[in-house]
Structure 1
Amino acid sequence: MSLNFSDKKEEETVYDEVKVKNELIEQTDDTKDEKANNRDGHFRQLACCLGILCVVLLLAIIGVCVYITAFNHTSEQNQLKENLTILQAVNLNLTNINNKLNSTVNNLTVQLDNLNKSYTALESNNTDLIAENQKLKTQNQKLKTQNQQLETQMKNLTDMLQDMETERNELNVSRAQWSIDQYCPIDKAVRQCKSCQVGWLQDQSSCYVILDVRPPNQKTWDEAQADCKERNSELAVINNRQEKAYIRGRSWNRTGISGYWIGLRVVDGKWTWVDGSDLTEISWIQPETPTEGHCAISVPTNIPNNGLKSVNCSDRNAWICEKKALRLFELKG
């Protein structure tokens, strides 16, 4: 805009100069010099305006450069901020990953410690197992030796059993013969069989032997029971009043006897017969209360009681044995 003003002013100056030349052709030299000076001033003003324009353009260019530089700097700063944000996020992820890795490493370290402990325990167990295996081998060798010894003993026992079987067979034959002689004695060259052997009394399905032994040959309850077993019998078991009356009625044939052992004693606080049954008629015995270490005797009929008496099993008395009578069948032609 300053340039247009200068051009217009220059045109006005030229116009004035032409007008002055036409009106004042005859001016003096001094007037010409003044005009020349005025013209030089105008040229200097024009040069000054051009310089100012150049300065303004230069400043504009510098401002544009500064703006471009500032813009680039702002873009770079924003980019740096974005990069910083990204790097911070990456750093956070890496930190999380590092924490997870540290936790995993710690867990693996704990697991490794546990594995080392387990390995140590297994090594100890393995050592114990090796020692135990060695002991088992030693024991196995001992067992083999014992087995051989047992096989030898078994062979000896087998031989003994065979010998005992032979003896048993011979004994059975002898016992059979003895039974025949006892139950079927020969009377006047004739063998006659009976339900009870010689010296035994029969009542219904039982045979009794009354051993009215006087002192000092009397026995305790255990000794009397052992004697009955040797006779293939046991101390008498009384099942009913009739049997009790039968035994009492056929005893007491000799003096010096205060009672006869029968198969009744106190077991676990109860009166129990030798066949395992309990005494049902408690009123039969006096006193009725069971006392450990006591056994029963049959007392004489002239004593006013119910027939049985509780005494110490270590006392000595006579005894009565009982066994089943032999069943005889008549052969019909």
Structure 2
Amino acid sequence: MVSLEEELELSMTYENFEDVPARKAASRRSVEDFNVPAAAPGMKMYRLVVVSFGLLCILQAALNISLRLTLFSQPNSLTEERDEMKRIYLDLEAGCNNLTEERDDLKRTLENYDLEAGCNNLTEERDDLKRTLENYDLEAGCNNLTEERDDLKRTLENYVSQQNSLTEERDEMKRINLDLEAGRNLLTEENHGLKRTLEEYAHYLQQGWVYFSGSFYRISSTMKPWQDSRRDCQQRGADLMIINSQEEQDFSRQYKNIIWIGLMDRDTEGEWTWVDGTQLTTSFWHSGEPNNYDKRNEDCVNINHHDHTNSWNDAPCENEYFWICEKKM
């Protein structure tokens, strides 16, 4: 659509275009009326101006026609552009209004702000800071800071020392705890061993064994050769008695029967050996013994002379006597 202003402009253009020949005729008559010579220079210039003006009018008419055709061919596009321009204008107007309001607010804020009082406050604060700085003893402050630093260092060193001491105490407590635990385990094992020992004691006592100095002893009720006597002891988890001290010798003499003990020289004549493989070191031979009497190979030992401290006697191993078994605990 074309607006009213555009239609008026186009109509004026057409009117100007139609009046061009009339104006030319009027100009020609006016020249003739004044009887101006055709060859005058001013007349030429005038004609040139008139012709130029006519050409300009023709060009303007052509441009108006072209513009009118363009406007008629694209009415919607121009309308959209006009609406877009209106929107842009409205946005700009709204922006200007906002800026105007912000400016007014800033003006009112600036009018309400007491610039002189603010400057005075800043000046007073500056003077206070100057006086504080002038009154501050920099050297003393540095010394105080140095002392505080040294105190902190000493505190830290003490803390580290205490921590190391506590660590050592902790480790010592751990070692003590481990020792206590090991001791407790050992006591537990000993307790179990004692229980087993007591059970064994009860068992052997019930079987007729006699306890003395860390061993159980049992006197046989029958008589057998030395080898059979030892076999009987071994079947009972024991062996023939080994005497290594005066106390054991005195203990053996309380039994009045002739009894085999675990001493013999069957392997090598004259080399007396106990049943556990150890060599004889402490002996209690009766006077004149061993004598291998009548060369009968008296290779085994018994306790015979009970009334004497030294009561050992060598005898043939095939002889049958009572025997005494020993079970070490």
Length-normalised TM-score, structure 1: 0.35
Length-normalised TM-score, structure 2: 0.35
**Between structures 1 and 2, the one with greater helix share:** 2
